[in-house]
Amino acid sequence: SQFVNGLIIGIIYGFMALGLSLIFSILGVVSFAHGEFYMIGGMLVYFITEVWLPGVNPLIGVLGACLVAFLLGAVFERLMLTPMYHGKIDRPIEYGILVTFGLAFTLQYFVQALVGANPVKAQRFLEFPRWRFPAEADPIWIKTSRGSMTLFEQVTISSPRFTAAITCILVLLALLFLMHRTWTGKALRAVSQDREAAAITGINPNTMNMLAFALGGMIAALAGALLVQAFSWLPQVGAIPAMRSFVIVVLGGLGSLPGAFIGGIMVGLVEAAGTGCVPDAQKAAS
C-alpha cells in the first residue's frame, strides 16, 4: 500500500516538476512563482465549480484554470522577463529570481485578500461505481466504492489521487509528443540547446521563451487543479510542493524533462517509505 501510494504521489510530484524543468531548460531561469501557479490552479477550480458556477462539470473548472495560468505566464514573461534577453539588464540571473519572487508574493497576497485565512476544497471530480472483480469468487482483485479503489484487498487508492495520477500520465504523454513530434516542440528543444543557432534557422527565441514559461505555469496549475479535490487549499499551499519541485529538478538533472519525472517518482517512493516508519503531520500539499 505504501509503495502504490508513493508511486501515485511521485507521479504527481514529477508532473509538477516538469513545468519547472521546462522553464529552466529554455529560459535559464528558476521560477520561484511555480508554487503560486500550483495554488492558483486549485483556487480557480474551487471558484469556478463551487462559487461562480456551482454544479458545473469539474472539467470546465480544470480547463479554465489551465487557460488562465497559461495566459498569466505568457503575459508575465513578455512584460517582465523579455528585457533579460535584450541586454537591458546587467545581472539577468538575479533579475529573474527577483521578479519571479515578486510574482509569487503578488499572487499569494492577492488570493489571500480574496479568500481570507479559511481553507477551501472542491468536490470530488469522480465517484467510482460500486463494483468488484471477480464478481463472486475470492480473492477479490479489484473492488471500488464511492470514494476509493481497493486492489487485492490490501491497497486502497482514493479517487482524487487516482484521477490526478491518470491525468498526469496522459498529459505527460501529450507533452512528450509535443516536444518530440511537432515543429513547436523541436523549436523549444533547439532554443534550449543553442539560442543563436536556433535564431539563424528562423526560430524566434522570444516566442519560445514565452511559450515555455506559459506551459510551465500551466503544468503547475493543472497539478493544483487536480489536487484541490483531495486537500484543503490555502494561499500558502504552494510552498511545500514548490520546494519539492526544486529538489526533484536538481535530482533529475537541471533542464531534463524525463529526469524530472523520474526524480518525482523517486521522491514520492522515498517519502512514502519514510511516512510508513515516521508519520508526517505536514503531508505535502495538505
- Tens of pLDDT, residue by residue over 122-135, are 988 888 888 887 77
Which pTM was predicted?
A: 0.92
pLDDT digits (tens, 9 = 90+) for 8-37: 999 999 999 999 999 999 998 989 999 999
**C-alpha cell recorded at residue 213:** 514559461
Give CA separation, 286 vs 119, 170, 228, 229, 241, in Å.
Answer: 10, 24, 9, 11, 10
The C-alpha atoms of residue 80 and residue 33 are separated, in whole angstroms, by 13
pLDDT digits (tens, 9 = 90+) for 210-265: 999 999 999 999 999 999 998 899 999 999 999 999 999 998 887 788 889 999 99
70-79, 120-129, 261-270: range with lowest mean pLDDT: 120-129
The C-alpha atoms of residue 219 and residue 237 are separated, in whole angstroms, by 16
Name the nearest CA neighbour of 175 among 20, 35, 18, 34.
Answer: 18
Beta bridge partners of 51: none
What pLDDT score does 116 carry?
A: 86
Name the nearest CA neighbour of 102 among 19, 32, 16, 20.
Answer: 32
Q: In this structure, what is the dihedral angle of CA atoms 259, 105, 42, 20, given to the nearest 10 degrees?
A: -10
Could you tell me the pLDDT band of residue 284, with boundaries at 50, 70 and 90?
very low
60-64, 65-69, 134-138: range with lowest mean pLDDT: 134-138
Residue pointed to by grid coordinates 522515498: 270
Residue 74's CB: how many other CB atoms inside 10 A? 18
Phi, psi angle pair for 34, to nearest 5°: -60, -40
Could you tell me the pLDDT band of residue 277, with boundaries at 50, 70 and 90?
low
What pLDDT score does 257 carry?
A: 84
| Residue-range domain boundaries for the chain | 2-128+162-277
The CATH number of 2-128+162-277, from 3.40.1000, 1.10.20, 1.10.760, 1.10.3470, is 1.10.3470
